[in-house]
Amino acid sequence: MEQGYILINKGDNVVTLLRDFEKGERINVSELGIEFTLLDNVEFGHKVAIRLIRNGEKVIKYGESIGSSTKEILPGEHVHIQNTVSDRGRGDQ
Amino acid sequence: MSTFKGFLREDGAVGVRNHILVLSTVVCANVVAERVARRVQGAVAFCHTNGCGQIGEDLSQTIRTLAGIGRNPNVFGTLIVSLGCEGVAACDILNDLARNRKNIELVTIQECGGTSGAIRQGERILRGWQKEWKNQKRVPCQLKDLTVGLECGGSDTSSGIAANPVMGYVSDRVVSMGGKVILSETTEMIGAEHLLAARTTNGVLAKKLLDFVKKTEDSAKAMKVDLRGTQPTPGNIKGGLTTIEEKSLGCLAKAGHSRIVEVVGYAEQPTKQGLIVMDTPGYDVESVTGMLAGGAQIFLFSTGRGTPVGCPIAPVIKVTGNPRTAERMRENIDLDASGLTLGRQSIEEIGDGLFTLLRKTASGRKTASERLGHTEASITRIGPSV
């Protein structure tokens, strides 16, 4: 991937980065015509939001829900355990 | 392309290895089993911490697993090493194995005067098998005689993007040739079970699969904590996996696109050819042991962060989609699939390479875990010790 990311399904609201990126770098998701600036330093293998994900909205990867956001996530923000939780296996709830 | 050279057993099964198995029935027999195996060429010990203080289905599952390992086609002959007073009935395993296979013997430590006597007797039995063992020759076999176990361990996001899809490509090919492929790790079906259920060939199988997933999720919930305390693991999370659902969706890719023809419990032997689902924990070593008991002779194992684990009696082929792991843990990796992660190679290109490696490994080529002497094993528990 020349562009350094992978969009697995066109319905996803995140992409996975294929190299380490620094805050301020531009990412152009050419498949969807979406462009944004990275708001965090994000490591290889981690996810970045490509659209606004509202608080409580499903995070979509592989075209399927991988859990819910716990706060509003802006395009270009790192999507991980600080803002996304599992909906499954929640014995704590 | 549909053949390899394997060892034909008297029950018609085909081994890809020719191990003399020293099977410990209980933790108290482990040291004797290991010492016997160390003294004789071709012998390997299978040790574990179960075998006593177990009741009900927890005990019968351990017995089923031990018998299944003795029955594995990679085994030339089995010496069972028992203490003599443990909960596992060694005689039952002996009789079960002896029904279809020759070279099955039992040594009981309490009847041999202790450690040294048991080691001497065990060694004597194995030496008596040496001539026949050495005369075993590989013969042409069909890939349809293979049961391939699928596993992932130390996953990261590259597993779902590259290593698992490449393994899925090979799984589909083995299935299309009439072989068996086992997908396990029920924990890692949570959040993706609807996609698997839709691939079963009938509603009974779909319900059985969904019930296994529900049971696993319920047992995690019963601990009153977020499953994320262990699934994804801390290493998975560092590697970019955020939730169990994300991990599951990536894991699923290793089973390709074939229909699911059978759903079996831990260490049960599938009866159908094709893609089979086995109920096992996500804990990789316990899962591999369950599939080994179910008859898997060879494993495809994806790893993102890198893991050295192997298996006492079967080759484990390690595949990584993480370019850093391919470099940093080179000695533990058999196939580098990072070309797919980086967009430089196609699934077909890497998958054809993995398929060739599978055939060569089945014909005797040693894997990284075999060269490095990795023989990890563990039988899962479903009840506390009593």
- The CATH number of residue A9's host domain is 2.30.130.110
Minimum distance, in Å, between the CA of residue A90 and any CA atom of chain B: 5
Domain contains A91 = no
Contacts of A83 in chain B (CB under 8 A): none
Q: A58 lies in which domain range? A: 5-85
Mean pLDDT, range A34-54, rounded to an integer = 97
Q: Closest chain B residue to A48 measured between Cα atoms?
A: B240
CATH number among 3.40.630, 3.40.50, 3.30.70, 2.60.40, domain B19-135:
3.40.50
How many domains, chain A? 1
Residue A39, min C-alpha distance to chain B (Å): 17
Q: Is B198 on the interface with A (CB under 8 A)?
A: no
Task: List chain B residues with CB under 8 Å of A6.
Answer: 161, 341, 343
Pick the residue from chain A with its C-alpha nearest to B324. Answer: A44
For the cut 70, the answer to whether the pLDDT of residue A2 exceeds it is no
B222 touches chain A (CB under 8 A): yes
Hey, are the CB atoms on A59 and B242 less than 8 Å from each other? yes
Say whether residue B308 is in contact with chain A using an 8 A CB cutoff: no
Are the beta carbons of B322 and A80 separated by less than 8 Å?
no
Distances (CA, A) of B384 to B64, B67, B87, B217: 18, 22, 14, 18
Beta bridge partners of B148: B181, B298
Q: Output the pTM of the full model.
A: 0.96
Q: How far is CA B168 from CA B158, B254, B363, in A?
A: 14, 4, 21
pLDDT at A1 over 60: no
Q: Is B243 on the interface with A (CB under 8 A)?
A: yes
Give, for all 386 residues of chain B, the pLDDT tens digit: 789 999 999 999 999 999 999 999 999 999 999 999 999 999 999 999 999 999 999 999 999 999 999 999 999 999 999 999 999 999 999 999 999 999 999 999 999 999 999 999 999 999 999 999 999 999 999 999 999 999 999 999 999 999 999 999 999 999 999 999 999 999 999 999 999 999 999 999 999 999 999 999 999 888 888 888 788 999 999 999 999 999 999 999 999 999 999 999 999 999 999 999 999 999 999 999 999 999 999 999 999 999 999 999 999 999 999 999 999 999 999 999 999 999 899 999 999 999 999 999 999 999 999 999 999 999 999 999 99
- Per-domain residue ranges for chain B? 19-135, 142-371
Residue with token string 């999720």: B217
pLDDT of residue B140: 97
Distance (Å) of CA B368 to CA A39, B310, B372: 41, 9, 6
SS3 B299: strand
Provide the ipTM.
0.97
Alpha-carbon distance B235 to B276, whole Å? 28
Of all residues in chain B, the one with the smallest CA distance to A60 is B246
